[in-house]
Structure 1
Amino acid sequence: MEQPQNPVPPGSPAPAGDAADRTSTMPGAALLDALLGASEHAPVGIYVKDAQGRYVFVNPAAARLLGREAEQVLGRTDDELLSPEYAAILRTADQAALAQGRAVRRDDRIPDASGAVLELLAVRTPVPGGYICGTWTDPSELRRTQAQLRHALEQLEMQQRQNEELRQELKDQSVRDPLTGVYNRNHFEEQLRREVDLSMREHREFALVSVQVDDYAQLVARHGQPAGERVLQALGRLLRGNTRAMDAPCRLGEDRFAVVLSGVGLATAHSRMESVRRQCEAQIVMLEGEELRFTVSMGVASFPHTTQERQVLLDAAEAALLEARRRGSNCVMPAAIAFGQAAANPL
């Protein structure tokens, strides 16, 4: 009966022949064969060195990192495979792992076949008998994968932003006047109800402003509908530019607008609208080389100082607007406060 081959004792050179012959005579040959099969296609370099620093096992990835085929690595030391500088670095790392008797993680530097230096993540684990089992991981591949993941996440985030912008745009289209960009009547009604509820719950004030373009019909009759639209667009820009995100400038009719100013009292609202009135008066609207000018009249009421009833608030702002027009237009009028209301809500 044929006797089984004896394994090569630690420290003996590997016999000549192909890689399969050498592997079969190494210590724990069956284990090394299994390790080779399991790691043949692994991206991580795996190797085993004996007590003299000879490679008794390398998987294809480890051999590639050393710039050789596996057959060219087995049975040789780092001194035979690398320049003295790099061989000494690896030898020192092996000795440190053996001395500590546990797995040691560090960074290795190995020149590849082209002469470029590879920065590798290395883990060395001592094995009884003076052996070292080590792994090399090329972080460049990991970095490429991470970069691809970052790019994919950025693309996903961009798509989510675009979807959110589209959703907001569609929402805005349903609540905004397409000509002037301010909110429409439906949003005005909703915002007014919200502000009344908030004021009643939290005992806070807000202001309602009625706005009308002065002599709008005469402007259109004299210069045409495009001129009227240009004026309305200019007024819409000024109202948007002089209100906050919590406010609601709205278009209620052809030349009629309203502004809901959240958390603002009568005096502050009057001051802000006076600033808008002056800007309208100074605004120059160009149409086919012709300069157009316009003015506005405004009526300002506040809740709860003017009144504590929604409809009465609307009527008060409208009455103040009519008074501004009666006084010659191009002015801002505060709403009158009834005697009983003033006693209940002193300014």
Structure 2
Amino acid sequence: MSISAFMRIASGMVLAQELMTLTPPLNDVEPTDIHLLTGMLDTMTDHVFLLRVEGERYRLVYCNEAMERFMNPTQESFCGRFLDDIVPDPGAYQQVADNYARARAVGHVIRYEESTEGFDAAPLTFFETTISPLVARDGNTVYICGISRDITARRSAELALKQTNERLAQQLAENHRLHEILHEEAIRDPLTNLFNRRYFLESLNREMNLAQRERHPVTLMMLDIDHFKKLNDQHGHVVGDQVLVEFSERLKEGMRKADVVCRWGGEEFLIMMPGLSQEDAYRRMLEWREINSPMVFKVADQRLTIRFSSGLATAPQNGVTADELITATDKALYLAKEAGRDQVKLSG
């Protein structure tokens, strides 16, 4: 039997008991019936109650033993007292009274959750409450019948589950962040934060396959800082590392978003420029050299001037595989060094 159906039966019998104290016995309702019904209600763990509407106030005229024990450990009966006396806290009382007013306004059963906050001598407990207005023949609500089920354990379990889910979400977010960090560390050079050789080769192979299908060029540019070993010997590796970092930053600033800039090793850098012909790449490199060559650094109160050599090669004319294209670019860089450094040479 549903709670609503039970409330209709129980409230009718309890209402009869309440009215019998005020009027002669009703037809077909015997004291034995009421005794059996109240005995059944007293076996329930849910709280069953009945309030009489008296003007703007509600008087508690019945509650079962479960509710009596919960609300009154001292065994002092609440029956006969007004609700605003039982719930002295104005805010808590207003919430209860608003729910009763809502039930009276709609004229049927309503359900909601509430707590004992604001009640005297009651531990903080959460209830799922179902109330129903009992309407007299004149259409006025004369009683509020209700059943409250203790859902504190359920609320605690829901809260614990919510907290667990939040912790799991935080852990997943942290794991994702760490995964991203590890991924970046796996594809980045730790000193310059440029892409490393492994990532560059993977990207170049993908781009070469795409270029063959779509028939667009891929140009590589290899740069080498001239006389870098001499700079390290004179100023130390710390200064040399600072130069590499600063050079990398200026190199990235001069490239397109589509370009892949890699620290190939030591003082060598390799740049992939998808869709860029050798002529266009050469022109861009000359423009960049006009601004950045020679490159002046201020490191540890010292002014250092560096120059660099570079070589260009383009697929497919200088190579159709990644290895062939890298080899051709390296040879172009060698030509620039052989020609006196501080210049750019084209492959082939």
Q: Same fold (TM over 0.5)?
A: yes
Equivalent residues in 2 for 1:301-316, closer than 5 Å: 301-304=313-316, 307-316=319-328
**In the alignment, which residue of structure 1 is the partner of 2:41?**
32
CA contact (8 A) 2:223 2:333 kept: yes
| Correspondence for 1:156 | 168
Partner of 1:284: 297
Unaligned runs of 5+ in 2: 1-12, 23-32, 54-58, 121-126, 137-142
Residue by residue over 1:242-298, the C-alpha shift from the partner in whole angstroms, topping out at 9 and shown as x without a partner, is: 5577643223333222112344444554465456543464441414x3222222222
SS at match of 1:233: helix
The CA deviation at 1:232 is: 2.3
Aligned partner of 1:48 in structure 2 is: 49
Distance 1:81 1:225, change over 3 A: closer
> For 1:297, which of 303, 309, 322 is the aligned residue?
309
Identity of aligned residues (%): 21
CA–CA separation in structure 2 for the residues paired with 1:111 and 1:187: 62
Q: Report what 1:74 is aligned to.
A: 79
Name the CA shift for 1:295/1:67 in 2 (closer, same or farther; >3 Å). farther
Flag structure 1 segments of 5+ consecutive residues without an equivalent.
Answer: 1-5, 15-23, 40-45, 115-119, 337-347
Paired AA for residue 60 in structure 2: R
User: SS at 1:74's partner residue?
Assistant: coil
Match of 1:112 in 2: 118
Aligned to 1:214: 226
Q: Is the 8 A contact 1:47 1:55 kept in 2?
A: no
Q: What amino acid is aligned across from residue 11 of structure 1 in structure 2?
A: L
**CA offset at residue 25 of structure 1?**
6.8
Quote the RMSD (CA, aligned, Å): 4.9
- 2:67 & 2:299 partners in 1: Cα distance? 73
Q: Work out which of the residue numbers 9, 19, 32 in structure 1 matches 2:17.
A: 9
> How far did 1:126 drift?
4.6
Number of residue pairs aligned between Structure 1 and Structure 2: 307
Residues 283-320 of structure 1: per-residue CA shift (max 9 Å, x gap): 41414x32222222222333346554444422432343
2 CA distance for matches of 1:333 and 1:13?
A: 112
Q: TM-score, normalised by structure 1?
A: 0.64
Residues in 2 aligned to 1:67 and 1:126: alpha-carbon distance in whole angstroms: 25
User: Could you tell me which residue of structure 1 aligns to residue 140 of structure 2?
Assistant: none
Distance 1:70 1:273 in 2: 94
Distance 1:282 1:276 in 2: 11
Letter in 2 for 1:125: S
When residues 268 and 152 of structure 1 are mapped into structure 2, their CA distance, relative to the original with a 3 A threshold, is farther
Q: 2:83 corresponds to which letter in structure 1?
A: D
